[in-house]
Amino acid sequence: MIEDETLKRWDKDHLWHPFTAQADWAADDPLIIDRAEGVELIDTQGRRYLDGVSSLWCNIHGHRHPALDQALRDQLDKIAHSTLLGLTVGPAIELARRLVERAPKGLTRVFLSDDGATAVEVALKMAFQYWRQRRDPGPERSLFLALGNAYHGDTLGDVSVGGVDRFHAAFGPLLFPTLRAPSPHCYRCPLGLHRETCGIACLDEVDKLLTAHRGRVAAVVIEPLVQCAAGMIVHPDGYLKGLRALCDRHDTLLICDEVAVGFGRTGTLFACETEGVRPDFLCLAKGLSGGYLPVAATLTTEEVYSAFFATAAEGKTFYHGHTYGGNALGAAVALASLRIFEDEQTLAQLPPKIDLLRTWLDRIASLPFVGNTRQRGLIGALELVADKPSKTPFPPEHLIGAKVCRMARTRGLLIRPLGDVIVIMPPLAITIGQLDHMLKIIEDCITETLSH
């Protein structure tokens, strides 16, 4: 067994961590996770931590769930992986069927890939190619419309439709142009309006862009209900439904990126169900496998699929694929995760947890440095500000959000900030008692960090 100090040295000598300032990491004492049980992670010293970020928003049913573990063991006795290029495999076939059964009606075709970025990249490329191959082609439709502060992954297509400068600005010369609509961020409205009287004016801005570029937009791309990496920006009720109506009016496609918000996070299995919206593309990953393996899916309609249904000689093939797309182990555990939703009535267990989160957020909102709290389902966030009445943020170099999360770690809770926004996204399997304990830690750590 390799000792902790050796692992820490090797980590700093060789491992490059994502979204991490490496000089800060090199000066820190790494926390090495060794194992997990339920909604707790356990380090190499045996210390336990509540997994307050669901291992980056993907764990649903908890770690080491017996049904998920067994699904993997059973599949290992058959085959771990076989390509979908020229072959097929039972778990991938069944997963496609089960997703179609549960998705909004009309989404009948499933393209399997690896992770959230690839799921969205697939949708972008499909939408682009669709317009060139459908019965009445529209090759001039080469633009995409996305929101300010959007984040859809880190492949170049996803970064092109992304709008978070600190993540994306460096790659500007590599990207294709994207139309940018204002984010429906009611706390920091980019239009300077107030939610009570605005009538969702940000939808009017989308309409203006689609009108100005009539016949040129291939698709509108959105995270429905919540823009997660943007700071857990919760959209006003009716925004998604209104966006669907605009896409229909302007004859453009709608891509719903539910990589982070899907599989129960917002209270329904898929976020777009909340407003009765059926997108033209539904992108899934993270919770698809319950947080066990990298599995992603892009669902679309027969209308889109028909534009690609042709012989090789006709030249309409979708030339895109991933080595591990349809991986048998991943598909098997994803199927088991979907069964758990039914067997354990996961969604039916959520309302009391959602209510408890709301109660705590209302309480935490009264703290002097909490400018705003926001929630959709079991996704919560609170924004820390230097001055509450003016909404003035802390100087970024003060790293206030990071300090709160660091203190929480000493209390047995692992959470990550988005700047000075504290994110609350536990596994759906968290108990009422564990959620209550988690939120008390967050309240205490905010109070203690900002009382000095």
Nearest to 224 by CA among 169, 281, 294, 178: 281
Give the pLDDT of residue 242. 98
Please list, in sequence order, all residues whose beta carbon lies within 8 angstroms of the beta carbon of residue 430, skipping any fewer than 6 positions away. Answer: 39, 50, 353, 438
CA distances 194 to 87, 313, 331, 376, Å, are 55, 56, 45, 20
In angstroms, the CA 445 to CA 334 distance is 36
Alpha helix locations (H) across 48-191? 54-57, 66-76, 90-102, 116-133, 156-161, 165-168
Report DSSP letters for 206-260, one per residue.
Answer: HHHHHHHTTTTEEEEEE-SSEETTTT-EEPPTTHHHHHHHHHHHTT-EEEEE-TT
Contact 373, 400 (CB under 8 A): no
> Could you read off the pLDDT of 142-198 as tens digits, one per residue?
999 999 999 999 999 999 999 999 899 999 999 999 999 999 999 999 999 998 899
Please list, in sequence order, all residues whose beta carbon lies within 8 angstroms of the beta carbon of residue 240, skipping any fewer than 6 positions away. Answer: 222, 224, 225, 271, 272, 274, 275, 277
> Could you read off the pLDDT of 196-242 as tens digits, one per residue?
899 899 999 999 999 999 999 999 999 999 999 999 999 999 999 99
Report DSSP letters for 323-377, one per residue.
Answer: TTTT-HHHHHHHHHHHHHHHHTTTGGGHHHHHHHHHHHHHHHTTSTTEEEEEEET
Q: Cα-flanking dihedrals φ and ψ of residue 359, to 5°?
A: -60, -45
Helix, strand, coil percentages for the chain (3-state, nearest 5): 40, 15, 40
- Chain-centre distance for alpha carbon 210: 26
Given a cut of 80, is residue 452 above it in pLDDT?
A: no
Verdict on whether the full-model pTM lies above 0.95? yes
Mean pLDDT of 248-253: 98
The structure tokens listed for 187 are: 């706390």
The structure tokens listed for 182 are: 């204002």
**199: which DSSP letter?**
-
Give the pLDDT of residue 1. 83
In angstroms, the CA 154 to CA 164 distance is 11
> Could you read off the pLDDT of 325-366 as tens digits, one per residue?
999 999 999 999 999 999 999 999 999 999 999 999 999 999
The SS3 assignment for 132 reads helix
How crowded is residue 315: how many other Cβ atoms within 10 Å of its Cβ?
A: 9
Contact 63, 36 (CB under 8 A): yes
Percent of the chain clearing pLDDT 70 (strictly above)? 100
Contact 438, 427 (CB under 8 A): no
Arithmetic mean of pLDDT over the chain: 97
Q: Cα-flanking dihedrals φ and ψ of residue 47, to 5°?
A: -75, 140
Contact 385, 404 (CB under 8 A): no
**391: which DSSP letter?**
T
User: CA 362, 413, 257, 327 torsion: positive or negative?
Assistant: negative
Please, how many CA atoms are within 13 Å of residue 427, restricted to the half-sphere of its CB?
28
In angstroms, the CA 271 to CA 261 distance is 6
The SS3 assignment for 284 reads strand
The SS3 assignment for 179 reads strand
- What is the four-CA torsion angle of 305, 239, 388, 406, rounded to 10 degrees? -20
For β-strands 417-418 and 421-424, DSSP reports them as antiparallel
Mean pLDDT of 117-138: 97
Residue type, 442: I
Give the pLDDT of residue 48. 98
The SS3 assignment for 107 reads strand
Give the pLDDT of residue 239. 98
Contact 210, 360 (CB under 8 A): no
The conformational region for residue 16 under phi > 0 = left, psi -120 to 50 = alpha, else beta, is beta
Give the pLDDT of residue 451. 86
